[in-house]
Structure 1
Amino acid sequence: MKKPAEFYQRDLGRHPPAYSPIYKTSVARSPQYPLISLQNSASEITGPVFGHNDIDPIDNDLILNYAQPDEMPIGERIILHGRVLDENARPIPNTLVEIWQANAGGRYRHKKDTYLAPIDPNFGGCGRTMTDEDGYYYFRTIKPGAYPWRNFVNSWRPAHIHVSVFGTGFAQRLISQIYFEGDPLIQTCPMVKSIPDPDAVDALIAKLDLNGTIPLDSIAYKFDIVLRGRRSTLFENRLEGN
């Protein structure tokens, strides 16, 4: 039987074009010249990396990691969990997964976020964890709210969580967004509509997981993250998106 390839070329038909007029900010920031691939150096491939000692036990619990004593954030409690895999479905152990998000009202804890929704004093909106030996990760958090953005007159971002996954070094990093099954705003979002492959859009949607749901507590969503490997082409032509 033929052994699967170690690395795969990026499928350009699956990824959104850098220039997409319906996503207005892509017009100004899309590359004007053909993208190039760069070979990583040995130092970029081999380190530095995070270890378990860098992670606090509640870093993956966004309900508790910013809350005041005896307080909790407002909103729908959820669990986001899944596995980090390579393209041959092999688990990726001991890799750093980070998330950041808006609160239940759709506002980020960021000085440049001027949306009129209130700041939740008990919600920081970011967390991190390491995958275990089976590539498994999980977070407990509050489901983020939708929010408006200045794309067209009535553009709204679907509820989403930003996710970052590191490889064997800081030069190897995947940044993406996770949406939620059943959200009607997914199909109206100009960012999502710039993705040409419907299967690629579906791969960005966390699926409702009633088996993982905690009764009378938290709804679970399952989201597996598939990595490409260190020879992937650069995301948005920058190392931090690889």
Structure 2
Amino acid sequence: MISLEGTKSEITGPVFGHGMLNPLDNDLILNYAKPGEMPIGPRILVHGRVLDERGAGVPGALVEFWQANAGGRYRHKKETYLAAVDPNFGGVGRTITDETGYYWFKTIQPGPYPWPNGVNDWRPAHIHFSIFGHGFQQRLITQMYFEGDPLIWRCPIVKTVPDEDAIRRLVAPLDMNATIPMDMRAYKFDIVLRGRRSTFFENRPEGN
């Protein structure tokens, strides 16, 4: 199991219900920005499907996400990293999968940040995910990393994932087919709930 000791931003995520969605909940670029302003950083689209062990899409799953800003700082009262707070970026959102299990959201690519438990340990850029559905026994928590980030394989938290294949399944590849020209890059991240190719979930290590 991934140890989260000592890192409050690793355990602080949104908690929402199925009937509470707003139109901008899956647009982290706009959902906290002041009128006429935008958050700082590269704009990206993250999309994929929530799948069962047979590869079938899971409809109606609540997908929540939270992250640091482009400078690697969370919008958290007790955050100690010296990077600046972006007044136009809240870093939290949610969406519900469609009938095919598909989800998407727009955001700012998060930055890396130092991990306080080590002398020179850094967390790679990542986005936290929570997945919950009507047929779930528990909320499932995982993290998504970005293809090509050299900090992934140096991160002490990533190193606690049991095998390299499980780590690779947490890394979202660049998806040029979904990129929006002159606007944002796209990354694809499928979340497999069960089975041999299951996504690694931090709160369900015995079931991965």
TM-score (norm 2): 0.85
1:224 equivalent in alignment to 2:173:
no
1:94 equivalent in alignment to 2:60:
yes
CA distance in 2, matches of 1:170, 1:84: 13
1:103 equivalent in alignment to 2:69:
yes
Task: Name 1:156's counterpart in structure 2.
Answer: 122
Task: Name 1:191's counterpart in structure 2.
Answer: 157
User: 1:209 pairs with 170, 175, 197, which one?
Assistant: 175
1:151 to partner: Cα distance: 2.2
Q: Is the 8 A contact 1:157 1:185 kept in 2?
A: yes
Which structure's CA Rg is the greater one? 1
CA distance in 2, matches of 1:59, 1:152: 35
Q: Is the 8 A contact 1:105 1:118 kept in 2?
A: yes
Q: Is the 8 A contact 2:60 2:133 kept in 1?
A: no
Alignment-mate amino acid for residue 210 of structure 1? M
Task: Name 1:79's counterpart in structure 2.
Answer: 45
Q: Report % sequence identity.
A: 65
User: 1:139 pairs with 105, 112, 116, which one?
Assistant: 105
Task: Name 2:198's counterpart in structure 1.
Answer: none
Alignment of 1:102-121 (within 5 A): 102-121=68-87
Task: Name 1:9's counterpart in structure 2.
Answer: none
Task: Name 2:93's counterpart in structure 1.
Answer: 127
Q: Which stretches in structure 1 are left out of the alignment for 5+ residues?
A: 1-15, 27-48
User: 2:145 pairs with 161, 176, 179, which one?
Assistant: 179
1:25 to partner: Cα distance: 3.9
Alignment-mate amino acid for residue 57 of structure 2? P
Q: Is the 8 A contact 2:130 2:139 kept in 1?
A: yes
The number of residues matched between the two structures is 193
Q: Which stretches in structure 2 are left out of the alignment for 5+ residues?
A: 7-15, 196-200
1:143 to partner: Cα distance: 0.3
Task: Name 2:10's counterpart in structure 1.
Answer: none
Q: CA RMSD in A?
A: 2.5
CA distance in 1, matches of 2:189, 2:161: 19
Q: Is the 8 A contact 2:142 2:202 kept in 1?
A: no
1:167 to partner: Cα distance: 2.2
1:150 to partner: Cα distance: 1.5
* Farther-moved stretch of structure 1 (59-68 vs 161-170): 161-170
CA distance in 1, matches of 2:97, 2:5: 34
TM-score (norm 1): 0.74
CA displacement, residues 107-138 of structure 1 (integer Å, 9 cap, x when unaligned): 00001111110100000000000000000000
